[in-house]
């Protein structure tokens, strides 16, 4: 079940990536809801996802690389 939540979180982030404010809010929610090992995995995924999307880097203050 937990893995499904992780995959759903990535789906939501992809869908809201058109708006940096929404993206940041969803990242914040995810960081509060996911398990620690899932949080680490999500941060790696986010880093790769926003690599070519400078408009989404505004929420990088929510996490540390």
> Taking CA 19 as the corner, what is the angle to CA 29 and CA 39, rounded to the nearest 5 degrees?
30
Both structure tokens of 12: 């939501």
Per residue in 11-34, pLDDT tens? 999 999 999 999 999 999 999 999
Helices 36-49 and 2-15 sit at what angle, rounded to 10 degrees? 30
Which DSSP state fits 51? Answer: T
State the pTM of this model.
0.86
**Cβ atoms 53, 59 nearer than 8 A:** no
Question: In angstroms, rounded to a whole number, what is the distance separating the alpha carbons of residues 14 and 9?
Answer: 9
Per residue in 31-63, pLDDT tens? 999 999 999 999 999 999 999 998 888 887 766
């Amino acid at each position: 079940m937990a893995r499904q939540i992780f995959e759903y979180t990535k789906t939501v982030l992809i869908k809201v990536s058109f708006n940096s404010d929404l993206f940041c809010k969803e990242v914040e929610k995810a960081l509060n809801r996911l398990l620690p090992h899932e949080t680490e995995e999500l941060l790696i995924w986010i880093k790769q996802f926003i690599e070519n999307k400078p408009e989404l880097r505004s929420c990088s203050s929510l996490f540390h690389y």
